[in-house]
Each structure stands twice: as structure tokens, then as C-alpha cells.
Structure 1
Amino acid sequence: MIWIQFAILLVAILIGARMKGIGLGVMGMMALALYLFVFRMRPAEPPIDVMLIILAVVSTAATMQAAGGMDYLVRIAEKILRSKPSMITLLGPLVTFCFTLFAGTAHITYSLLPIIAEVATKKRIRPERP
């Protein structure tokens, strides 16, 4: 029985991923309906602690963006990366780590990727290789 339920889960994920957008959520809802009504499974308690942590991190990042803190951090990171372009393979991950540490989430580092790519391209360094 568990293998049938696992197969339903995988099929729902694959179909939802192909649908893109909100399709993954819709397919997850359909799989959940199958589990509830066909297999008579009881739903678990919602992970309130996890949801509150996500809410706190997103609120912090939004406040930082609205107050101008993100732009400030990006300017500092850009100065650091452009001051020593030959050390981009060391400074890139270090600055990205500090950015994540101060911002609270790794999604904040997406604003650093174009700067790292530009500095590495100008110095003809491939930062993905050691």
C-alpha cells in the first residue's frame, strides 16, 4: 500500500512540475484529496513553528529592503569584490556567507550573483572552478 501511495506522490510532483506556476500546488492538493478520501488517511498537524520561522525571515528581509539595508549591503559587497578581483574565488563565497548571515536567508544573495559574474568575467576567472 505504501508503494502505491508513494507512486501517487511522485506522479503528482512530476505532473505539477510540468504544469509550472501554481500547478505543483494544485497537483499536491489533488494528491492530498486522494490520500484523504480514497486511502482514508488522517492529516497531520500543521507545522506552525516552521511557518512562523518562515514568516519571521520573510518579514525581516522585506523590512531590510524597504529601509534600504539591502542596497547598503550590496554596495558594501560590491566594493569588497571589486577591490580584489583576482581573489573572487575566495571573496565571492565569503561575502555571500556574510550576506546570508546578516540578512537571515540565502535568497538575499541573488542580488550578488550579477556582481560576482561581472567581476569574474572582467578578470577572465571562472568562479565555479577552484
Structure 2
Amino acid sequence: MMDFIIQLAIILVCLFYGARKGGIALGLLGGVGLVILVFIFNLPPGKPPVDVMLVIIAVVSASATLQASGGLDVMLQIAEKLLRKNPKYISIVAPLVTCTLTILCGTGHVVYTILPIIYDVSIKNNIRPERPMAASTIGSQMGIIASPVSVAVVTLVAMLGNVTFNGKHLEFLDLLAITIPSTFIGILAIGIF
């Protein structure tokens, strides 16, 4: 028990000091803590999550390709047209748009480019922008669990790989069959209430 407390203290000291220094120091000092645990305390290093790392590389590559080819701009133009055509329903449409963009791109960071449009449409139609903007950011984050290319979904499938449901293992499509409808129901609840 004492070894565990010492090991935890070493990791926390390294992480807090790295966070205080900022930037790359956080990663480097986290690595220093790992080296101390492996070589001084003789703990076996864990297996790196190769599947998750490959998904991250694929998502980053796809996002970069989408950005470089202008595909993201096209998606944002379509989203802007949709928002400007339905300004009265901005509190419902905006979260649906950001959720859909997140599902398609696999990351919630696409919401940053659509927030000024949501603000503009809200102000021009005498709607307080706080509600559609807050609902949109929440909708964007909810879209992560429904996106087939998000790291969160792939990690969850990997973690639940041994779980059986009605006699069969939980698979990728089974998870999406649950998360996609529940996400859209949640988005509608956010927009309506």
C-alpha cells in the first residue's frame, strides 16, 4: 500500500509540475514519471493503445484532408444556409446542425466556426443568443458519442468488447444503433426545452 501511495505521489508531482511549466513540459514530465515507475519501481509498462492511436491518426488525417480540400467550408456554407432559412427555430436547428457536423467530422472543434453564425442569426431575429449557442456547444459534444469516427466511440467499443448482451458481444454497429437515436432525441430535448 505504501508503494502505491509513493508511486501516485511521484506521478502527481510530475504532472502538476509539468502543468505549471505548461506546453510540452506536461508530456515530458509525465514521461519522466513513467520512466521512474518502470525503472525504479520495476513496474511493467502497459501495452500502448495502438487501435486508438490509429483511429486518432485517421481522424486527424481525414480532418486535414477535409480542411485542405475545402470540404469543411462547403459543409459550413450548407449549415449557414440552413440556419439562415430557419431563424425562428434557431434554438432547435443550431444544436442539430452542430451535432451533425460533429458526427460527420468526428470532433467537436467544428462548432467554433459556426458559433458566430448562430450569434448573428439570433441577434438579427431578436432572439437572445445565449440559449442557441449553449445548446449548440452541448449538441456538438453529444455528437461525439454518435460519431463513428470519434475516438470516444472506438475506445468505448474496445472497452465493451467482452460484454455480452442477449447472448452476443456488443459490436460497433450495436453501439451506434443506441447512441445515434438517443443523441438526436437528447438534442431535440435541448432545443425544445
TM range (shorter): 0.7 to 0.9
> 1:108 pairs with 107, 110, 115, which one?
110
Q: Which 10-residue stretch deviates more, 112-121 or 67-76?
A: 112-121
Runs of 5+ unmatched residues, structure 2: 136-192
CA distance in 1, matches of 2:33, 2:105: 36
Report what 1:95 is aligned to: 97
> 2:18 pairs with 12, 16, 29, which one?
16
Secondary structure at 1:36's aligned position in 2? helix
Residues 1:20 and 1:117: Cα distance change in structure 2 (over 3 Å) = farther
> 1:72 pairs with 64, 71, 74, which one?
74
CA distance in 2, matches of 1:23, 1:117: 37
Report what 1:53 is aligned to: 55
CA distance in 1, matches of 2:120, 2:88: 12
Residues 1:13 and 1:73: Cα distance change in structure 2 (over 3 Å) = same
Residues 1:40 and 1:59: Cα distance change in structure 2 (over 3 Å) = same
CA positional deviation for 1:119: 2.9
CA positional deviation for 1:67: 1.3
Report what 2:88 is aligned to: 86
Secondary structure at 2:80's aligned position in 1? helix
How many residue pairs get aligned? The number is 130
Secondary structure at 1:21's aligned position in 2? coil
Residues 1:78 and 1:8: Cα distance change in structure 2 (over 3 Å) = same
CA positional deviation for 1:39: 1.2
CA RMSD of aligned residues (A): 1.9
TM-score where L is the length of structure 1: 0.85
Residues 1:7 and 1:87: Cα distance change in structure 2 (over 3 Å) = farther
Report what 2:35 is aligned to: 33
Supply the AA of the counterpart residue of 2:64.
Answer: A
Residues 1:101 and 1:42: Cα distance change in structure 2 (over 3 Å) = same
CA distance in 2, matches of 1:20, 1:55: 24
CA positional deviation for 1:112: 1.6
Residues 1:121 and 1:7: Cα distance change in structure 2 (over 3 Å) = farther
CA distance in 2, matches of 1:85, 1:8: 54
